[in-house]
Structure 1
């Protein structure tokens, strides 16, 4: 396994076959695509599609990996001319094969058998195919295909949108043409004479934004029976905004449903903030990330990428455009707010920034990452860039927050990494990317270069881009609190900021080594310079920062040890004082209880000898005294009765024990009399006990 081919696809039979039939001198295109575990590659010589199961190749041992077979999908109708795009549908049931002047739809057969191959692993399969509008392209040789995309709202996964160079968009369902939507003024080329295409009015790319709900009454065209229509209650319907990019950088929006003949074209959209140089003068590609609000990326052939938010406009404004006088265009209800512009480095040659040749100013193609919505890919003649749009996570955090004082602050810039470089000399030779495919589970990337080399890399999905754990939220909240108090960012954040670099060292394609010793020397000097300025220098600064931080920590430690000693002394003093105070408190508490008792007795004596004591109180006191004496007498009599009762029980038990044989039974009358007397005595004793308790409660004893 090599570092640039972790899946070792260069050794497989499929790419061995593709390597021998690659077109010579091609520009950047995409002859690869992947859906689930099937990897598709176009064979331009035999006009057929090769497919293999890449997961099986990944699971196989290294000696058997080169023997992984592939299947050949042969279209039933011959694909004419050239194919530069392979686009698999959303569900993987259809494949669009697009060229400059042809579009073919290929039906994918069912999967069966071991390893999930098509039709039980049959080596060659003839698939049903449809060539779209063959006569249209034959009768219009100047007509070209600009972009093809599958519509996400298709239930049967068969709706294909094709953008043509005459500013029309054709909608196909399988082989049938459903709609022809006009997206701009009609442009044609007739020999040396040109029309609006020279003014940059040709639509070159489009993408589909998330669906929106609109009023049905607003989307209907004005008719003669407008009075009748005005009486109807407007109903909401779902429309898909199709964002269209023109060569001059103007952006339009086509609002329509998937089965609607009526469309509404709005634009050009106002782009803010305004700058001295217009946005997208050399525009070449457009991409939409379905965030909230949607993020629009506009690429220029100079290597500039504009990241903009598609926002709803406060008031609809009609933009002035002479070229669209013959086309009904509505005022735009959206605006594009450019948050940042990313500069890409096209090649590593020192003369690249000042060069005006095609090698360093080439069309850039965009591809969205379906696994991570914050990331997309830019591939071109000089290699591959991975761009991470960091403000999307800030948008998500702003939408998820329920705090009333929550504010949206877009502070983190996007990160552009130069992953693969195929142009690192000053010659006119290029090694473009002619195929790119994204894989899932595990996440990976496959690139096919013009030299025939295959680059397969594993993509690292950063957990911080997809989710934020509770611990990270707490740390973020703590850092924010410290920032508010004026203590500044944390040391870890400071180190991360110091280690951030603007330039990285990409992978260099092996097949494009420069033949000139001077050029190789320049490349080596440039790599050494990048290592010095972007790597070693930053590490030296971090090392100095660590030394400074360690010194500060040691000083703080000594100071804290001294403070700990002083605090321990103060703790001992405080402990002694607390012990003395506790003893003093107990003594005072005992004295207080004695004083309280004395006060109570004095109050009782004072109340008893008061001259203004009423008669009832004196009688009550006398009654209490009499009851007390009676209670004491009753208690003494009760004790005497108990002693007598116990004595009698003792004698009775003794007599019963001695005269057990001569047991004497009292007569029934005497026994009844004694029982009654004892019962009366018991009841009298109980009554007296209850009286004593009642009196005690009254007296308060």
Structure 2
């Protein structure tokens, strides 16, 4: 049974991951990445049927994975290698299926329909795919793939950069090979070595193991990058001041050069290449560069005896200003450094390969801090051998201050705290204190898959980041899937605390405070959190359940768990319990005081309610009396105005005439109403007569018919006469 608390999306119960679990690769002892996520689509590679499974995870999270089925994306060409990486392009139109011995690019079909699925939800889809340089791998049995990345600024979203073990980066545009860039000496076999199968460059650590692409820069001759500020490698402030001047000059130059269409074709991207011995090189190349400029090895400050690692395995570029480099070593050491432009180009020594042209270095690297990760649970025995394994790095595209490191022993989340202060310092126009750059980063051990000193590991076979809502998904070698929710940006909590502190400072402070208020003034929740804050991070333990550990290993794990529980949990909980008891007593005292105050307030409220009722009744009486007095005053004013002695005689006569006409008009109106009533009555009788006439026809005698007609004619004549009189009166009155 899987733990539901470590699988918030319930992916372990889905049919898609049941199929993945049944078809896991045979080789599961090293970290791979068989998962990929782009927007709302989650991809997983099925090693048994050699197809890519896809599901709309966001829709499935709302409607349930039973309602939303997964789709099988079948490549049109077979793969002659074991797929170990699934990497989607920047726009999500292509997916690279890579292994140590080959690369296949898969074109994704179009999406349509109400749920936005591929080809309206078709279960199995054959997708167009093509293998990249399959003959190159078949003709060179020792050639292996080290790293591949999609170019983030490809206009067609189809440029793929592949780093091979022969120290070359091959650039592909769809299935076409565009360039082959050399980033190191050509490996050569040597018979003098103990192991003649290993090339000389490999034994010397000259193999490139990883690369990443830094933000674009304009060529040196096009950008105004000269500055009067000098670099002093002994102090970090001088280095950052120079970087600030360079970045401002570059931004102004790029803003001006955007008007020139030709300049956009000359933009270059520094491709930072890491070698196993810790040396870092920069390849200045554009998308159409046939002969890029290789620079290095870059000067790393401050100097170190071990050259910052002889077992370097991964490098990551965080596009801050200036860019931040993360250099990982196999022993779990991470170096956080700044990628800075040098004042003067630095000449480097010649490489082993004479055909490799090394240009003067235009960049330097300044290491700010080093973080040591725990690869597995720590051991009490200091003589125990530390576990080493390759580290894989992945950026958090929502929060630039955070990245993730996954490996054979689990998953770490690292937050670089100096990036925000670095951004503020670089953008500031005045010199400010850069002491916050010394704030240490936070490394949190999220998932631990190695708990003992044996060779059994539960390696990470897939790791992806989800967005909206934010979360992570891990596929382990045991087949278990771990899905966790993440805080989007830890700075939100920090900013909330700062805003609260500023608000509290802006409020007027009371001069007189009771002793109880002073005791309750600090935030109790923050106080409890500070008391419960642990010195060590307790990750989620996930081991391979197919192999049972021996009793000695179980006892060591239990002893360590008890020790952590005793020192980091129980002791702190006892202190928290005493603090909560003290808090409860204080709150009870304040509750009693507030109850007395509430009782007094209730009495005061009843008195106020009775007084308000009396005042409302008195107000109604006064309002009615005022209305009566107002009407009397208006009537008196009208009478006084009509009886004024200065009123002219013509006005009185006119008023009398108007009164007479008004009376006559009322009389005529009454007569007209009577006539209308008569006509309506006759019309009613006529309609009744017509209705009865339809049923039965009556024939009147000729004499009676004649009398009736005469009577009707007399009535009509009278009505016409009255109408004419009314119209005549209306004309006289001007109505």
TM over 0.5: yes
Alignment match, 1:447: 474
* Aligned equivalents of 1:189, 1:84: Cα separation in 2: 28
Aligned match for 2:484, one of 457, 466, 491: 457
Q: 2:452 aligns with which of 425, 435, 450?
A: 425
Contact kept in structure 2, 1:7 and 1:57, CA below 8 Å: no
Q: Is the 8 A contact 1:505 1:527 kept in 2?
A: no
Q: Which residue of 2 is the match for residue 300 of structure 1?
A: 329
Deviations 1:73-126 (A, max 9, x none): 111111121111100001100000111010110000001123211001111111
Deviation, 1:331, is 1.8
SS of 1:529's partner is helix
Paired residues for 1:400-419 under 5 Å: 400-401=427-428, 403-407=430-434, 409-419=436-446
Counterpart secondary structure, 1:95 = strand
| Partners of 1:37 and 1:29 in 2: CA distance | 22
2:200 is matched with which residue: 159, 172, 195?
A: 195
Equivalent pair of 2:368/2:438 in contact (CA under 8 Å): no
Match of 2:16 in 1: 14
Tell me the residue number matched to 1:170. 170
Q: What's the C-alpha RMSD, in Å, of the aligned pairs?
A: 3.3
Q: How does 1:115-130 map to 2 (within 5 A)?
A: 115-130=115-130
Matches within 5 A, 1:136-147: 136-147=136-147
Task: Say whether residues 1:267 and 2:267 are aligned partners.
Answer: no
Q: In 2 relative to 1, CA 536–157 (structure 1 residues): closer, same or farther, beyond 3 Å?
A: same
The correspondence of residues 88-99 of structure 1 with structure 2, limited to 5 A, is 88-99=88-99
Aligned-pair distance for 1:457? 0.7
Q: How far does residue 545 in structure 1 lie from its aligned partner after superposition?
A: 9.8
| 1:518 aligned to which of 552, 559, 571 | 552
Distance in 2 (CA, whole Å) between partners of 1:373 and 1:413 is 16
1:314 is aligned to 2:316: no
TM-score, structure 2 as length reference: 0.66
- Post-superposition offset of 1:431: 0.7
**Correspondence 1:211 to 2:182:** no
Instruction: Name the count of aligned residue pairs.
Output: 525
Query: Is residue 376 from structure 1 mapped to residue 403 from structure 2 by the alignment?
Result: yes
Contact 2:77 2:130 in 1 (8 A): yes
In structure 2, the partner of 1:331 is: 360
Identify the range of structure 1 (525-534 vs 80-89) with the bigger mean alpha-carbon deviation: 525-534
Q: 1:38 aligns with which of 38, 41, 44?
A: 41
* Contact 2:185 2:351 survives alignment (8 Å): no
Which deviates more, 242-251 or 526-535?
Answer: 526-535
1:364 aligns with 2:388: no
Q: CA deviation at 1:419?
A: 0.6
After superposition, the Cα gap between the structure-2 partners of 1:14 and 1:368, relative to the gap in structure 1 and judged at 3 Å, is same
1:277 Cα deviation from its structure 2 partner: 2.6
- Is the partner of 1:213 in helix, strand or coil? coil
Residue equivalent to 1:246: 275
Flag structure 2 segments of 5+ consecutive residues without an equivalent.
191-195, 224-261, 507-520, 585-645, 647-735
**Structure 1 residue aligned with 2:238:** none
Spell out, residue by residue over 1:1-58, the C-alpha distance to the aligned partner (whole angstroms, 9 max, x if none): 8111110001111101010110134210100000011111111122111111111221
* Alpha-carbon offset, residue 461 of structure 1: 1.9
Listed one character per residue, the Cα deviations across residues 522-566 of structure 1 (whole Å, up to 9, x for unaligned) are: 11221222233344556677889999999xxxxxxxxxxxxxxxx
Are the aligned partners of 1:34 and 1:40 in contact in 2 as well (CA < 8 Å)?
A: yes
Change (3 A) 1:80 1:518: same
Partner of 2:6 in structure 1? Answer: 4
TM-score by length of 1: 0.69
Which stretch has the larger CA shift, 332-341 or 505-514?
A: 505-514
Asked whether the 8 Å contact 1:393–1:465 carries over to 2, the reply is no
Shift of 1:494: 9.4
Deviations 1:331-360 (Å, cap 9, x if unpaired)? 211111111111111111526864447xx2
* Partner SS state of residue 320, structure 1: coil
Contact 1:21 1:45 in 2 (8 A): yes
- 1:243-293 deviations in whole A, cap 9, x for unaligned? 000010100010011111121111111111112332021111111111111
Instruction: Flag the structure with larger Rg.
Output: 1
Which runs of 5 or more structure 1 residues have no equivalent in the other structure? 219-233, 480-489, 551-656, 658-701
